Amino acid sequence: MSLVDELKSAVTPRAALLVVGVLALQLLFITSYVGALHHPEPRDVPFGVVAPPRVSAQLVGQLDQLPGAPLDPRSVADEATARNQILNRDIDGALIVDPAGRTDTLLVASGGGTALSRTLEALFITVEKAQQRTVRTVDVAPASREDFNGLSAFYLVVGWCVGGYICAAILAISAGSRPANRERAIIRLGVLALYSVLGGLGGAIVVGPILGALPGSVAALWGLGTLVVFAVGAATLALQAVFGIVGIGLAILLIVIAGNPSAGGAFPLPMLPPFWNAIGPALPPGAGTWAARSIAYFKGNDMTSSMLVLSAWAVVGVAVTLVMSSLKRTPEPEPIADEVDPAGGAPAR
């Protein structure tokens, strides 16, 4: 055989398409991560202003007109209300104006992301200096000293997500992309559920009692981790059941390429470009990161939407997997052997 013939025999159209698909994933990975993280800047950060009514209205207007629209300011009744709204994750910071002096107080919450709290501090140092005033910063929900840049929650969730789709991929690779029947699908989902419980517990113990990277309830993080792993794994099983081995690539596209840079890990959601800011909360890494930080630093507040997102991924993944496993497969036609004349003549037709 010539080299060209060998090439045609070795490189099938299916293999060529898979390689092209991998190249596309690679380029999308670069585009997504660099596009989301190369130039972070605050946009429409929910922000409170505590000041006398006349001063408050004027200041809210001024902050709303800052170049680039970094803030979404609103008046807040008093400091206690501002603190509660920050802990409830309704706002990301607040300015407490002292009408009798020249030093105001900036409330931030580095537990929600140190990059954002530092950005707010730098912004208000500039704003206050222009008004010949100074500002002191108070962190009402500080990140742990063992949680550098507030990234531990994000890395924890990334680990859970990786475990979820790798477990589902291994189940498919070892026994076929689509379960042979509903019973096999139930077995796969059962194995995934057990893996999710163990993976969730392991992650919670590592970041809590072992490393001390995250405060908060180990039991709550365990429950969150179980749901994250199962949601990602069930979604991966569903994609494989529908698209075959290509489903693994689609899972990577959704979870790794789209989900990780939009999760609000390195930079909180208000600092991401509009596209990533919009999709982040709807994908497992973003929902998981928000919930993990709520458990660790915000007394478990404002987790409902994140838990609903994760539950939806899990329920839809299970439903699609079961439906696809129930569909009857069209049997491949068997080659029809020619009937041979018993007398040894030509094949009978």
**Overall domain count for the chain:** 2
Judgement on whether residues 156 and 255 belong to the same structural domain of the protein: yes
Domain carrying residue 133:
45-139
Q: Is the pLDDT assigned to residue 334 strictly greater than 80?
A: no
Same domain, 229 and 108: no
pLDDT at 85 over 90: yes
Residue 162 and residue 256 share a domain: yes
Residue entry with tokens 């706002």 = 91
Would the pLDDT of 117 be above 90? yes
Residue 280 located in a structural domain: yes
Query: Within this chain, do residues 122 and 155 fall inside the same structural domain, yes or no?
Result: no
pLDDT in tens, 10-63: 777 877 888 898 999 999 999 999 999 999 999 999 999 999 988 999 999 999
pLDDT single digits (tens) 154-197: 999 999 999 999 999 998 887 666 666 788 889 999 999 999 99
Instruction: Name the pTM for this structure.
Output: 0.88
Residue 339 has pLDDT above 50, yes or no: no
298 with 185, same domain? yes
206 and 314 within one domain: yes
Cβ atoms of residues 48 and 82 within 8 Å: yes
In this structure, the chain runs to a length of 349
Q: 107 phi and psi, to 5 degrees?
A: -95, 130
Residues 311 and 166 in one domain: yes
Same domain (yes/no): 157, 264: yes
| Residue whose pair of structure tokens reads 């609903």 in the numeric block | 308
- pLDDT, tens digit (0-9, with 9 covering 90-100), for 54-76: 899 999 999 999 999 999 999 99
The single-letter code of the amino acid at 120 is L
- Retrieve residue 240's tokens: 């494989």
Name the E strands within 39-82.
Answer: 45-50, 71-75
